[in-house]
A = this chain, B = another copy of it.
Amino acid sequence: SQATKLLVLPGDGIGPEVMREVVKIVRWLGDARGLSLELTDELVGGASLAAHGVPLRPEVVALAKEADAVLFGSVGDPKWNHVSFDKRPEAAILGLRQELELFANLRPAQVFAPLVDASSLKPELVAGLDIMIVRETVGGIYFGEPRGIETLADGSQRGINTEVYTTSEIERVARVAFELARLRGNHVCSVEKCNVMESGLLWKQVVTALHERDYSDVKLSHMLADNCAMQLVRNPKQFDVIVTGNLFGDLLSDLASMLTGSLGMLPSATLGPVQESGKRHALYEPIHGSAPDIAGQGIANPLAQILSFAMLLRYSLKREDDAALIEQAVSNVLSSGLRTADIMSEGMTRVGTEEMGAAVLQEM
């Protein structure tokens, strides 16, 4: 059989340095556990802008489509703040989501026991926290038309964006949430603003109908987005799986991540539809950004990138054992007291990006 193909897109800022630690793990898995992966490296985001004048080349999209999975770093660089919308580094991740139809972003917000004190929240509120946010990522106000800025007769301007959701867009992401819930706490909370937005009302109706039809064994609740933001702070452990649209998901998943106090630890997966061949496009990325302020200093936390690769092994390559091996190694390293700067606390041993990567490999 053909080798499994991985497209590796380190991107900007700390992306390349944390990705380097993953590549070492990939090599070790090849040697020690017979996992043969063919890696292709490409530039995206600001790095691609600098080299090629665009944040995402069509060649890279083609490679992403061919690959068995995409491992993404992070994009974003204040240097490119002035460029137009479609040329910003962020257009790379938005473009990949759209071109590969990556509609379901899975964002676990998990508290690692040794890091419980890193949270802003009181430890008893977050110890053992394990939420999965399923965010729709190819629809909603991110891509809806019409959009743009128009100049009015009097010289003033008008900015417009359109939130659109269709029955099928809502159904497919809700299905992902229900399926995941069955493997976890069996509870889905669907989040919208049905009290002020028709797109939210349709969202609620479609999720409710799908639940009745195919997932009545799963507990379903509904929550307004403003209330959800509050409940995540008040009592986050009430949630199991949250399913929501693109824009609410953007805010709520970042909020949920921050509850854990350790952004540098959290991976994510974004999945496309299952194709006839059984294949499914998927992109894995840490939830943290490119952190330009600390880039190049060798102090960034590589664990979210490493755990994103573990998710890739689990979901795309069905290598559960290898995924679990990595996750256990990460857990051991934390228990042993090693910490990068972002998760440092008293009495622990501070290490840099490379040392942290090496420690995980050592544990494996």
Contact = CB atoms under 8 A, between A and B. Distances in A.
Contacts of A203: 159
A21 interface: no
Interface residues of A, number: 58
A157 B158 CA distance: 28
Contacts of A164: 158-160
A149 B199 CA distance: 7
Interface in A127-179: 141-142, 144, 147-149, 152, 156-168
A305 interface: no
Given A122-B122, A147-B198, A250 B159 contact: no
Contacts of A144: 160
A292 to B, nearest CB: 13
Contacts of A147: 197-198
Interface in A235-260: 235, 247-248, 250-252, 254-255, 257-259
A196 B94 contact: yes
Contacts of A199: 159-161
A193 B152 contact: no
Interface stretch (A222-230, A276-284, A318-326, A354-362): A222-230
A163 B149 contact: no
A218 B15 CA distance: 35
Contact of A197 (B161, B233, B251): B161
A156 B120 CA distance: 44
A120 B162 CA distance: 35
A226 B202 contact: no
> Which of the listed residues A157, A200, A225, A263 has the most CB atoms from chain B within 10 Å of its own CB?
A157
A197 B141 contact: yes
A88 interface: yes
Nearest to A261: B234
A285 interface: no
A193 B250 contact: yes
A297 interface: no
A104 to B, nearest CB: 18
